[in-house]
A = this chain, B = another copy of it.
Amino acid sequence: MSNTSEFSTPIRLSERTHKMRSSAIREMLKQLDTPGMISLAGGNPAPESFPMHLMADLQAQVLSRYGHRALQYSETEGFAPLREAVAQMLRNQGIPAEASRILITNGSQGVLDALAKVFLDRGTPIGLENPTYLGALQAFAPYDPLFVPLECDAQGATPRGIHSMLQNHPRSLLYLMPTFQNPSGRSAGLTRRCEIAAVIESEQCLVIEDDPYSALRYEGDSQLPLAALCPERVLYMGTLSKVFAPGLRLGYCLAPAWLFPWLVKAKQGTDLHTGTLVQAMAAQYINAGHMKIQLPKTCELYSKRRDAMLEALDIWMPSQFHWTRPQGGMFLWLEGPEEFDSARLLPKALALGVAFVTGNAFFTDSCMGSHCLRLNFTLPNEAQIHEGIRRIGQALAA
């Protein structure tokens, strides 16, 4: 479809709509049903980590405890017991969190959507890592902000890059994923975090710290979130998708007091509130200690899968290819020589029965990153990972 015909509709679409990006991943998901296809493309947790055997009890407990309240409309802010449980989780990570500033959303995408609504006019500057999370680009791009790519190194955004952005654009938003970043797998160490905290402490700004993966650590020490180091400058956001189940669509954020009511108002117009029943079940899952029991098992599973992928890459990748070795999370990032084009590799790979996401999907400028690709290691098992990487090697050789 040409651009012209694409936008020629009986009723005029908003300018915003012309800026909407589709998710390369979600569109590809539909192709992944082909029998034998190995998907290294999505960001799906392993079904083995889902609490299938607990669901009946969780629901029964919730219905007996809250009765019809579990099926009724509830507050936009979130179901109180879940807000409490999330606040406690965050305090355990060193973040000074009060339940009264926790907003429960439809996945962490719901936080990104509310932030975009509350902050972004055309041209509003927002600093971000490049590559960055595709879902954030999807939430932000329709409002046509000024994306300011931050200088990055192997630990993500540099303090110098953040400082320089805030000099050029004072009182700005920054969107960072300091731990096991999606898509790169990069993480900032403690020194880096302290340096970033010092920079943002000294400037008026708001850092959106997106932290979906820090519970999925397979080696190395836990790192303090920026929200623990510099709470008054940080909106901290997370999700239960990776540590409970993604199909329940539960995300959350801890917002500064001045911002909280605006996010609530934005969410009210978007969906009234997040599902009461699933919120109550999640609170029960956390409070009964199930999450604490499941997490180490999930980490052990994923750790082996990550190792399998690193091993397979060592075997099957040509010598000009390099990749990250993340200590946790769900992804690693593969970089080929400059002339390599992952978009040309993809159809060959799909034909051989393996899927990945091309690097350009994660850049604000989709001309960038074409020599890169993102690989997921949490959904496929070890044998599938070996076979998938072998097929990519084969597609590269073709």
Residues of A within 8 A of B (CB): 9-17, 20-23, 26, 29-30, 42-45, 47, 50, 52, 55-56, 59-60, 63, 67-76, 105-107, 109-110, 112-113, 117-121, 124, 135, 138-139, 141-143, 171-173, 204-206, 241, 245-249, 256, 258-259, 262, 265-266, 268-278
**Are B56 and A68 interface neighbours, CB within 8 A?**
no
Q: Are B117 and A142 in contact (CB under 8 A)?
A: yes
The answer for the CA separation of A246 and B120 in the assembled complex, in Å, is: 31
Partner of A135, one of B23, B45, B204, B272: B272
In contact, B119 and A14 (Cβ under 8 angstroms): yes
How many angstroms from the CA of A204 to the CA of B10 in the assembled complex? 7
Partner of A117 from B14, B42, B107, B259 at Cβ < 8 Å = B14
| Complex Cα gap A20–B256 (Å) | 19
Residue of B nearest to A277 (CB): B247
A71 touches B268 (CB 8 A): no
- The answer to whether B172 touches A139, judged by C-beta atoms less than 8 angstroms apart, is no
Interchain Cβ contacts under 8 Å between A and B, 16 examples: A9-B258, A16-B117, A16-B118, A17-B118, A21-B269, A43-B73, A47-B68, A56-B60, A70-B247, A71-B247, A74-B247, A106-B274, A109-B271, A138-B269, A247-B275, A249-B271
The reply to whether B120 and A270 form a contact with Cβ atoms under 8 Å apart is no
A160 vs chain B, min Cβ distance (A)? 22
Contact at A171–B11, with CB atoms within 8 Å? yes
Report B-chain residues with C-beta under 8 Å of the C-beta of A205: 11
When C-beta atoms are compared, the residue in chain B nearest to A250 turns out to be B275
Identical chains in the assembly: 2
- CB <8 Å contact, A271 and B68: no
Given A11-B206, A71-B52, A107-B272, A22 and B277 contact (CB-CB distance below 8 Å): no
Judge whether A117 and B17 touch: CB under 8 Å: yes
**Do A275 and B272 have beta carbons less than 8 Å apart?**
no
Told that A13-B262, A109-B270, A142-B269 touch, could you supply 7 new A-B pairs with CB distance under 8 A?
Answer: A9-B259, A11-B173, A16-B118, A45-B72, A47-B67, A52-B63, A142-B266
Residues of B within 8 A of A278 (CB): 275, 277-278
The listed residue (B11, B124, B271) touching A113 by CB distance below 8 A is B271
A249 to B70, CA, bound (A): 12
For the complex, what is the distance from the CA of A86 to the CA of B342, rounded to whole Å? 40
